[in-house]
């Protein structure tokens, strides 16, 4: 932790914190002009899940009450436990989660091209400081702007990656639309193209393939169960049951499994700590 590598990471972190500015970033459209969030009115279903305004979306927002969580299958010495958080968790007591055996965390950084998590610094840095391997995620709204635009926004507001053994590649959260049409008004082909645009932009900037968070139902409905990413991008599957079940998109295996939201979104990495570190290092 006190190596030259850590020192370099600290300098990078300092530059990042200086650059993120106000917690709520100004919206930016693909053309670089401010965009309005007035159209992002949560659906009645989204409001039932605690999404009251633009920016409130979070990983698995439809999962936490539409599906009952069941005890997850344990695989001793072959998995690593972690959590994901957003602004809904506020300031997190990271020491307590570390003591409870959570060794990695993903933190929501951005949504669309109009929102940044006001608790991001506390959550992202706090998880790192207790020893966790941590990463950030972006909640996609493909009807707002291009995949390249949102990847760029994500990268500018906490979505970057550094090879320090403690930072996971940024993840793309692509799932049900809390503000309107399930598939954001896009055809399956257009959705696949949007995801590819995001993934290609992120990789061009970081050298990393972005993990994709989704679930079987949404992926099948909105991408036609596309197999375009199953050999390049790690799968983070949401399935609140006793096993991950049938995987979307022809992925041969999952990398992370989100298996419950009680009492907080809980995830299991499909490998031991050495493999999680390998994912962090790229």
Q: Which residues contact 272 (CB under 8 A, 6 or more apart)?
A: 77, 78, 79, 80
13-61 per-position pLDDT tens digit: 443 333 333 333 444 444 443 355 667 877 777 787 777 777 877 777 6
Name the helix (H) or strand (E) containing 61: none
Catalytic residue check, 31: no
Catalytic residue check, 84: yes
Q: What is the pTM (predicted TM-score) of this model?
A: 0.82
Which is the catalytic residue, given 84, 111, 164, 265?
84
d(CA 82, CA 25) in angstroms, rounded, equals: 28
Which is the catalytic residue, given 56, 111, 144, 175?
175
Q: Which residues contact 29 (CB under 8 A, 6 or more apart)?
A: 35, 113, 145, 149
Catalytic residue check, 164: no
Q: Map out the domains of the chain as residue ranges.
A: 66-281
Render each residue's pLDDT in the chain as its tens digit; 282 residues: 333 333 333 333 443 333 333 333 444 444 443 355 667 877 777 787 777 777 877 777 677 545 555 566 656 578 999 999 999 899 999 999 999 999 999 999 999 999 999 999 999 999 999 999 999 999 999 999 999 999 999 999 999 999 999 999 999 999 999 899 899 999 999 999 999 999 999 999 999 999 999 999 999 999 999 999 999 999 999 999 889 999 999 999 999 999 998 889 999 999 999 999 999 999
Other residues' Cβ atoms within 10 Å of the Cβ of residue 33: 8
Number of H-type helices and E-type strands within the chain = 9, 9
d(CA 143, CA 166) in angstroms, rounded, equals: 33
Which is the catalytic residue, given 56, 111, 173, 265?
173
CA-based end-to-end distance of the chain: 19
At the fourth CATH level, the homologous superfamily of domain 66-281 is Glycosidases (3.20.20.80)
167-180 per-position pLDDT tens digit: 999 999 999 998 99
d(CA 205, CA 35) in angstroms, rounded, equals: 24
Quick one: tokens of 185?
A: 């008004």
């Amino acid at each position: 932790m006190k190596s030259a590598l850590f020192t370099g990471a600290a300098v990078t972190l300092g530059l990042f914190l200086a650059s993120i500015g106000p917690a709520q970033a100004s919206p930016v459209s693909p053309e670089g002009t401010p965009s309005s969030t007035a159209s992002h009115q949560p659906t009645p279903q989204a409001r039932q899940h605690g999404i009251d305004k633009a920016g409130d979306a979070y990983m698995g927002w439809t999962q936490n009450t539409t599906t009952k969580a069941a005890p997850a299958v344990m695989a001793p010495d072959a998995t690593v436990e972690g959590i994901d958080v957003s602004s809904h968790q506020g300031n997190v007591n990271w020491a307590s989660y570390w003591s409870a055996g959570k060794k990695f965390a993903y933190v929501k950084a951005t949504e669309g091209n109009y929102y940044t998590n006001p608790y991001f610094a506390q959550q992202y840095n706090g998880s790192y400081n207790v020893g966790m391997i941590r990463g950030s995620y972006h909640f996609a709204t493909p009807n707002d702007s291009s995949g390249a635009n949102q990847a760029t926004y994500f990268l500018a507001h906490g979505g970057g990656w550094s090879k320090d053994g403690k930072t996971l590649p940024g993840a793309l959260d692509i799932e049900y639309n809390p503000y309107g049409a399930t598939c954001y008004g896009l055809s399956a082909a257009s959705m696949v193209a949007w995801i590819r645009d995001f993934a290609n932009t992120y990789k061009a900037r970081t050298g990393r393939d972005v993990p994709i968070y989704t679930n079987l139902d949404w992926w099948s409905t909105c991408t036609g169960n596309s197999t375009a990413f199953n050999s390049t991008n790690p799968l983070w599957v949401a399935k609140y049951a006793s096993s991950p079940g049938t995987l979307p998109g022809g992925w041969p295996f999952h990398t992370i499994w989100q298996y419950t939201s009680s009492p907080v979104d809980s995830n299991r990495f499909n490998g031991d700590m050495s493999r999680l570190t390998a994912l962090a290092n790229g």
